[in-house]
Amino acid sequence: MATELAPGLIHHPGFLDPAARLRLAEQVAAILEAAPPFAPRMPRTGKPFSVRMSNAGPLGWVSDRNGYRYQATHPETGRPWPAIPPTALAAWEALARYPALPEACLINLYDPAARMGLHQDRDEADFSAPVVSLSVGAPALFRYGGLHRTDPTRSVRLLAGDAVVIGGASRLIFHGIDRLYRSADQLVELPLTRFLPAGGRCNLTLRRVSDRTGRPGEPGLPIS
């Protein structure tokens, strides 16, 4: 049963059943073998994120001292990103209601102490496309607000198998992950144990990056 948390922000608890979660975790583990997790860094300061990342798809999101951007290759191996996992593509087809495939699948890896500060996702050129989020592993406290950083926020727990569709009036809201919770449910972590400690969490976000002319999104915080 889906819940509209805010206009255009739809939470689908248990969207992936346990078998689908396990398949997704296996597919993600194979991607991480080819495209190892990297530690993104804050633009300007170079401070590392507590979340490690990788990507799948034609484009991947990266962040370093020079800024945020999408690029076609892994920042350390220089190789193209692996293909988007089939279970994630199926979720996009079921939930996005958008007439094109996703171009980027950002993979966020949270150890039990990792968090993600309040931010907007605005490095994409086409805000008419939604973002589709899939979570596996430990439960997390997801916080979301409004279009301004200081708007009041609400929180909801995201569990393994949950999907969130972020579109419409919510596409540019501020959001983040405040903390992880311990859980007895370790099922999905098994294929990911090489990449995720016990009690860790993995979130995938599927995104359109180019607008309909094929122009990529504005890079964030350019050097000059």
Chain contacts with Fe ion (rule: CB under 5 A): 121
Q: Which two tokens stand for residue 216?
A: 């990529």
Binder to ligand MD3 among 109, 177, 188, 206 (CB under 6 A)? 177
- Closest among 122, 126, 113 to 179, alpha carbons compared: 113
Least spacing, CB of residue 48 vs ligand MD3, in Å:
16
Tell me the C-alpha distance between 20 and 139, whole Å: 17
Binder to ligand MD3 among 31, 91, 138, 166 (CB under 6 A)? 166
CA Rg value for the chain: 16
- Closest among 14, 53, 10 to 188, alpha carbons compared: 14
Task: Please report, as residue ranges, which positions from 185 to 224 form the binding site for ligand MD3 (by CB under 6 A).
Answer: 203, 205
Handedness of CA 12, 216, 121, 75 (dihedral sign): positive
Name the residue nearer to ligand MD3 (CB basis): 63 or 78: 63
Name the residue nearer to Fe ion (CB basis): 6 or 187: 6
Name the residue nearer to Fe ion (CB basis): 80 or 168: 168
- 99-137 burial: b if 16+ Cβ within 10 Å, else e: eeebbbbbbbbbbbebbbeeeebebbbbbebbbbbbbbb
Binder to ligand MD3 among 95, 164, 180, 188 (CB under 6 A)? 164
- Does position 138 interact with ligand MD3 (CB under 6 A)? The reply is no
Residue pair 209/104 in contact by the 8 Å Cβ criterion = yes
- Does position 124 interact with ligand MD3 (CB under 6 A)? The reply is no
Choose the contact partner of 81 out of Fe ion, ligand MD3, none; CB within 5 to 8 A by kind: none
Which residues contribute to the site for ligand MD3 (CB under 6 A)? 106, 108, 116, 121, 131, 133, 142, 164, 166, 170-171, 173, 175, 177, 203, 205
